[in-house]
Amino acid sequence: MGEFVVRGRRRLTGTVRVNGAKNAALPIMAATVLASRPVLLHDVPDLRDIRVMSQVLQALGAEVERRGSDIFVDPRTINNYVVPAELMQEMRASIFLLGPLLARLGAAEATQPGGCAIGQRPIDLHLYALEQLGARICDEDGRTVLRADGLHGNEVHFPFPSVGATENVLMAAAMAEGETRIRNAAMEPEIVDLAQFLEKLGATVRGAGTPDIRVTGNPHLGATEHTIIGDRIEAATFILAVAATGGDIVVQNCMVDHLPGLWTRLKELGVMIEELDAETVRVVSEGVFKPCPVSIATAPYPGFATDLQPQFMSFLLQVPGVHLITERVFENRLGHTIELRRLGAQIVADQRVALIYGGHPLHGTVVTAPDLRAGAALVNAALIAEGETVIRGREVIERGYENLDYRLRSLGADIVAR
């Protein structure tokens, strides 16, 4: 198991560019199955999940080639609708292949996907949505098999705005006959990026970024080039790191409008936020805060992102006062509180609610990353702790952050990977 070793209490300064968003790149890579000619994707991060998705596409018959920060996909030779079980277990995002494969080949087969253990994430909504478009679903020896003689537009009304299920039905609808209306759709920026990609292929998508999306399918989707949007979660991770440690950094390729709520909270606590343009922000912090109780509750976009909750908790450890975090998206997403307490954090938590007593010193020790975003939170906490912290589970963190140690060192952090 790899480790990050961090020596804290260093002020961060300089410029960092945010990579393309993993959570946008993965469904868009899945959507290349729909294309009739080669596709070129720009600014795709070099992460394990991206490499696994490339392997899945290759197993289905596609030609996939990484060219620097670009990925070339030629889907014309896809002839297999079975997602390999061993790859499905490595990455939850492989579930995104169900909709595109069903639309293109009339069949799709997969096992229950793997991923971070942060709570129940069943695929029921994915299957429900695809059934509304005409899929027939059955279980065969522990595998889910979907078949369709042709997909037809319909109304899909989600009981919960699931990001993954919205993306899956959006892709399937792109080749379905007629119009599909998705009600109570997820509104995340990654949904909008996928919709823009599908429009470039030739589908008609209206309302992406709202709870009501309409898709007019096109059975003859073409080819395109597309640049992946910047990773808002990665951007916020760097921003919260400098806010907690103190410093002055410029964050590039950061879509300011993609982080609603974060800016206001940081400004209220005295962190200076300067929007240099729509994709560049300057963050200046003294790393010292007046007592101020903070309360947040995670929610689907545009609410406070559950993927930012652990990193924000680490930041609150620097702010004197009693803070409340309520996790409303995943029932097991407070596991990092145990590890933060090893660093000296004063936190009382159950599965859904955490009380954070901020303003107390942290001290280096050995901790383990329980999941991707919790691991990022531990890195940020180590940056403000006295002494040396060893964070085990580097591979878990690197699922979402490319060259994290190198990029933090470029800002002045004392961190090495081993």
> 411: annotated binding-site residue?
no
Contact 313, 356 (CB under 8 A): yes
Out of 116, 138, 254, 292, which one is annotated catalytic?
116
> 17: annotated binding-site residue?
no
Residue 264, classified by CB atoms within 10 Å of its CB into exposed (0-12), middle (13-18) or buried (19+), is exposed
> 122: annotated binding-site residue?
yes
Over the range 193-223, which residues count as b (16 or more CB within 10 Å of their CB) and which as e?
A: bbbbbbbbbbbebeebbeeebbbbbbeebeb
> 123: annotated binding-site residue?
yes
Number of Cβ atoms within 10 Å of the Cβ of 72: 15
CA distances from 133 to 128, 212, 222 (A): 9, 17, 22
Contact 289, 320 (CB under 8 A): yes
- Cα(307)–Cα(344) distance, rounded to whole angstroms? 23
> 405: annotated binding-site residue?
no
- Cα(90)–Cα(162) distance, rounded to whole angstroms? 21
> 352: annotated binding-site residue?
no
Does 161 sit behind a cis peptide bond, omega within 30 degrees of 0 on the bond before it?
no
Q: What are the structure tokens assigned to 272, written together?
A: 């200076």
> 397: annotated binding-site residue?
no
> 92: annotated binding-site residue?
yes
> 121: annotated binding-site residue?
yes
CA distances from 269 to 151, 290, 292, 307, 325 (A): 51, 8, 7, 21, 16
> 260: annotated binding-site residue?
no
Q: Is 116 a catalytic residue?
A: yes
Q: What amino acid positions are annotated as catalytic residues?
A: 116
Task: Provide the annotated binding site for UDP-N-acetyl-alpha-D-glucosamine.
Answer: 92, 121-125, 307, 329
Binding site residues for phosphoenolpyruvate, as ranges?
22-23
